[in-house]
A and B are shown apart, each in its own frame.
Chain A
Amino acid sequence: KQEVTQIPAALSVPEGENLVLNCSFTDSAIYNLQWFRQDPGKGLTSLLLIQSSQREQTSGRLNASLDKSSGRSTLYIAASQPGDSATYLCAVRPGDYKLSFGAGTTVTVRA
């Protein structure tokens, strides 16, 4: 069974600092990996999707990398802002269309 781990569980940084969020998974046979953002009491918003054949994806200040062989993905957020405060979830998709989620990293960016 696929196990997804996100470390740290919580992170607090001053505004302007770069954020590094980690995600590890136990089974490298995945189709893709998706990073989501969740604000308190809200649904999940997709940030980036990395296909299994890709090494990284970028969108604005966000960059996500994927190392399938070692079972790791990292989400980088450059020049953090208070509006980046949220919980970030990673999810891996195997061939059966059922996502496996990590428990998330809760980020606080201090103004």
Chain B
Amino acid sequence: DGGITQSPKYLFRKEGQNVTLSCEQNLNHDAMYWYRQDPGQGLRLIYYSQIVNDFQKGDIAEGYSVSREKKESFPLTVTSAQKNPTAFYLCASTPLGQLPSYGYTFGSGTRLTVV
């Protein structure tokens, strides 16, 4: 079945450590996104990419980095510069050029906790 796979499901980060969250999709979607979800808040956009080797900052990009070397993969690195990284991270994708009839598909998320 087509979908988005996020790994790991749970991740623990020590102070000063960089960690990388994986996101892989087999939907042949062009655009991929990373969102952060905190309790009681809506999802906030971290980074997005509409084409390989190109990506754009979202609303809360500070302390995060991404790469898009393959269409299927969009890993997110949480760097030591991100002072409050404990949150639930969601990856999403959507086809481009299909306009109003296509929606977004989300992965199952990664819960990151600072220890």
Contact = CB atoms under 8 A, between A and B. Distances in A.
Contacts, number: 65
Nearest to B41: A103
B104 interface: yes
A51 B41 CA distance: 25
Interface in A33-83: 34, 36, 41-46, 49, 51-53
A51 B94 CA distance: 15
Interface stretch (B12-20, B68-76, B77-85, B106-114): B106-114
Given A4-B42, A97-B31, A103-B42, A43 B100 contact: no
B108 A91 contact: no
Contact of B90 (A44, A98, A104): A44
Given A99-B104, A103-B40, A104-B42, A31 B99 contact: yes
A1 to B, nearest CB: 9
B64 interface: no
A28 interface: no
B96 interface: yes
A34 B108 contact: no
A26 to B, nearest CB: 14
Contact of B100 (A45, A52, A101): A52
Interface of B: 6, 31, 33, 35, 40-43, 45, 48, 50, 58, 88, 90, 92, 94, 96, 99-109, 111
Interface of A: 4, 9, 31-32, 34, 36, 41-46, 49, 51-53, 89, 91, 93, 97-104
6 contacts: A34-B103, A41-B88, A42-B108, A97-B94, A98-B33, A99-B45
5 closest Cβ contacts across the A-B interface? A51-B100, A101-B42, A44-B106, A43-B108, A49-B103
